[in-house]
Amino acid sequence: MRLHSSQTRATTGLQRFSQLRPAAALRPLLTSIALAVSLVAMPQAWANGPANADSLPEIQRLIKQGQYPQALERVDAYIATRPKDAQGRFTKGLILTELNRPADAIVVFQRLTEDYPELPEPYNNLAVLYAQQKQYDKARTALEMAIRTHPAYATAHENLGDVYAKLASQAYDKALQIDSSNTGAQSKLSLIRELISVSGRPGSRPAAAAAAPTPAPAPAVSATTGAAPTVVARAEPAKPAAAPAPVAPPPKVVEKPAPAEKPEKAEKVEKAAEAKPAPKAEEKKADEAKASGDEAGVHKAVQAWANAWSRKDVKAYLAAYAPDFQVPGGQKRKDWEAERSSRITKPGTIQVGVEDLKVSFQGDKATVRFRQNYKSANLKSSASKVLVLSKSGSRWLIQQERVGS
């Protein structure tokens, strides 16, 4: 049960701008990061620990298996007992989207924005649905609402960038009497799959969320680690929903709350959170020795990854990721790959440069922090980036990817 302190918000406010555009270049990643930020919690929600805690994860499981009709049934039942539950309604919106019932999904997300205007995710997904229907003005309004409450919300920014591009293209069509509708594929806006910044409705958040199959660390963690690095602070239960910066900054906190200085703590966090068991390393002390110190190899792998991206070689780009790569946003690997592929193969050149690589080794893993300079037809950004690589045979493969230091 904690929030970002106001001091924290001030810090992130300063970072906001530099983070914003880079983040936008890497939306899928951010989805996961944002998702991990679930700790922007509702004190009361967590405390209450409502019943049926396992209900939502079960529904999530059905979704993952593609059993949408069943998932819908379950979620309807779930909501029937908790009509106000944001998480449940949000999930229903997702299921309806998957079932290709955009009109119904829009109603669900729309009502969520009315009941929980402080949540950015329903706005974002509303925008995604509007954009699919080419209602870009509505999409834009929704995204601007999301950003109004969460100015650093990277996914919304990236989506908004796409919507602006669409609106620009429509305006150009009218201005120049051209039809650009068939040039450039329909832009795919990113749907947010997890409700992360849960609202302040008591009891609205099931404790189950903590156990959800996402890397959301249990709130207890930061309490135990106490001096959770820069970002996390003790709860200020007084004004939960008002916290404007829950989204983008926390990436640092979540998967690895301690940036450069304290990676050990990060592992503790992950363990405590029952996320993917990162520290396999203990079992592989032998590999560790081999792996450690292969700085040149890591450099080479990162460079090759950036090069593949730059020359839009999707195959080589995706091959840079380990089989156990932590796919962002709880997405399926296949979906993630499809999304990456569609983004990378968008018309126009891409340039990805890496600089200031700093490698540190933990067990059989290497963490590389660097500056990523990204330039495409639509976006230019420079972002701090972190890749966690693991050695597979002679190759270093990406196991985690995130923005931030």
Partner 1 sequence: MFSPPVVRNMSRPRRPASPGALAAPLLGAALLALPALFHVANATPARAEKAATKPAAKAKALPADAATQLVPSYSDSGPEPMLDRIFAAIEQRKLDTALEQTEVLLKQYPNFRLANLIKGDLLLARSRPINAFGALNNAPAEKVADLREEAIARLKAYRQKPNADVVPRYLLQLQSDQRYAIVVDTQKSRLYLYENDAKTGRPHFVADYYITQGKLGAEKSKEGDKKTPIGVYHVTSSLEPRKIGDFYGSGAFPINYPNEWDKRNGKSGHGIWLHGTPSDTFSRPPKASDGCVVLANTDLNQLAKNLQIGLTPVIISPSIEWTSIDDWAKERAELNRTIESWRNDWESRDTDRFLRHYSRRFQGDGQNYAAFAQQKRQVNGAKEWIKVGISNVSMFRNPGKDEMVVVTFAQDYRSNNVNQASRKRQYWIREDGAWKIIYEGAA
Residues binding partner 1 (CB under 8 A) = 13, 16-17, 20-21, 147, 151, 157, 160-161, 164-165, 167-169, 171-172, 174-178, 348, 377-380
Pick between residue 6 and residue 378 the one whose CB is nearest to partner 1: 378
Report whether 390 contacts 397 (CB < 8 A). Answer: yes
Q: Closest distance between partner 1 and the C-beta of residue 167, in Å?
A: 5
Report whether 30 contacts 251 (CB < 8 A). Answer: yes
Q: Closest distance between partner 1 and the C-beta of residue 51, in Å?
A: 42
**376 by DSSP, 3-state: which?**
strand
**93 by DSSP, 3-state: which?**
helix
Q: What's at 381, amino acid-wise?
A: S
Q: Closest distance between partner 1 and the C-beta of residue 189, in Å?
A: 14
Q: Closest distance between partner 1 and the C-beta of residue 114, in Å?
A: 24
Q: Closest distance between partner 1 and the C-beta of residue 271, in Å?
A: 36
Burial string for 369-387 (b: 16+ CB within 10 Å, else e) reads: bbbbbbbbebbebbbbbbb
d(CA 160, CA 21): 12
d(CA 363, CA 280): 8
**53 by DSSP, 3-state: which?**
coil
Q: Closest distance between partner 1 and the C-beta of residue 295, in Å?
A: 33
Pick between residue 280 and residue 312 the one whose CB is nearest to partner 1: 312
Burial string for 245-284 (b: 16+ CB within 10 Å, else e) reads: bbbbbbbbbbbbbbbeebbebbbbbbeebebeebeebeeb
Q: Closest distance between partner 1 and the C-beta of residue 377, in Å?
A: 7
Pick between residue 16 and residue 193 the one whose CB is nearest to partner 1: 16
Q: H helices within 274-351, ranges in order?
A: 285-291, 295-310, 314-319, 333-344
Q: Closest distance between partner 1 and the C-beta of residue 135, in Å?
A: 16
Q: Closest distance between partner 1 and the C-beta of residue 177, in Å?
A: 7
Pick between residue 164 and residue 361 the one whose CB is nearest to partner 1: 164
Report whether 41 contacts 261 (CB < 8 A). Answer: no
- CB contact set of 301 (below 8 Å; sequence gap of 6+): 320, 389, 395, 396, 397, 398
d(CA 254, CA 403): 12
210: which 2 tokens?
């903590």
DSSP letter assigned to residue 247:
S
Q: Closest distance between partner 1 and the C-beta of residue 162, in Å?
A: 9
Q: What's at 338, amino acid-wise?
A: A
Pick between residue 212 and residue 379 the one whose CB is nearest to partner 1: 379
- CB contact set of 105 (below 8 Å; sequence gap of 6+): 93, 94, 96, 97, 125, 129
Give the closest residue to 155 by CA, choosing from 197, 214, 110. Answer: 197
